[in-house]
Amino acid sequence: MSQPTVSDVHVDAMLTTLSVAYRQDQSRFVADRVFPVVNVGKQSDRYYVYNRGDFNRDEMAVRAPATESAGSGYSLDNTPTYYCNEWALHKDVPDQVIANADAVINPLRDATEFLTLKALLRREKSFVSSYFTGGIWTSDFDGVASANSWAGGSVLQWNDANSTPIEDIRKASTTILERTGFMPNVLVLGKVVYDALIDHPDLVDRIKYGQTPGSPAIVNRQALAALFEVDRVEIMSAIENTANEGATASHSFIGGKKALLCYAAQSPGLMTPSAGYTFQWSGMYGGSFGQRILSFRMDELKATRVEIETCYDCKMIAADLGFFFDTVVG
């Protein structure tokens, strides 16, 4: 595996005030904002799923004098389980690298940031591969280039000027609301999908009347949230290099050409529904928030090992609180 050499971390002149790393902004990773984090004390356990139909049935009745009130109740399923797998990765920092590093470079700090981003990348990919994909949610539509049919489970791809993304999202929102009683509040977009929407003529047309010479009409994330009537629009703009080490880098957006409309709990709780939760084992070896970073000597390598450990399980809780669009741009 590649490691910086002594010459990599020491320069003879200039550029001693700036160290540039090709690391992604952590805000680009959205999984934890779509599936809110629930800290748990055990690595595995059961959780409860309430029968939503019991809550939405009208059962009140007029009570006659000296009689009991009408009775009701709700059932719950305590068989669903989670299991927080432990994911781990380390980076060895040779003693020579530490001793020869210029002041602007802190090899142990850099190793910590490097591993933290690796952990974020793994969690994002776990979410995408399992839940930002088709065949998972109760409603699962495809984007098509022509002959779209809502009844047939398809929409015209949103990069087509004749498509109707606002109408599509409104119908999807109504579908979720009607079957669950909850209005979806988060729209997750692949970066390519977001780029198509901000240039869509219908969306631009709807906001252009508020423009001024100094403030042109721009469709941004906030405008999309208002047009689609959701609290947040999350853009999956994290990237992944799929090339093997040593090969030419091959980067692409993790989120692809997909979109997910869902309800995400504002404050996770026992009776608080959500499309999904991220169970995070906060009890792991004393680590907080399901993650810890260790630093210890590797005398046989004459190096310091920096190691990250994280324990979590992304779980879909309610498939009917999500509406998925696959290949929604061409």
pLDDT tens for each residue of 254-273: 999 999 999 999 888 767 88
Q: What is d(CA 166, CA 149) in angstroms, rounded to the nearest whole number?
A: 16
Q: What are phi and psi of 54, to 5 degrees?
A: -65, -30
Q: Which two tokens stand for residue 305?
A: 């090992």
Average pLDDT, rounded, for the chain: 88
How much of the chain, in percent, has pLDDT values that exceed 90? 62
- Residues with Cβ within 8 Å of residue 238, at least 6 apart in sequence: 24, 28, 29, 30, 120, 121, 124, 253, 254, 255
Would you say residue 177 has pLDDT above 90?
Answer: yes
Would you say residue 286 has pLDDT above 80?
Answer: no
Would you say residue 13 has pLDDT above 90?
Answer: no
Cβ proximity of 219 and 203 under 8 Å: yes
Average pLDDT over residues 160-170: 97
- Among 7-11, 49-53, 303-307, which stretch is predicted with the lowest mean pLDDT? 7-11
Best CA proximity match to 229, nearest among 292, 305, 300, 167: 167
Q: Give the helix/strand (H/E) hosting 239.
A: strand 239-241
pLDDT band at 214 (very low <50, low <70, confident <90, very high): low
Architecture of domain 26-54+98-326: Alpha-Beta Complex (3.90)
Cβ proximity of 190 and 257 under 8 Å: yes
Q: Residue 228, SS3?
A: helix
Q: Write down the domain spans for the chain.
A: 26-54+98-326
pTM value is 0.87
pLDDT in tens, 23-43: 567 789 999 999 999 988 899
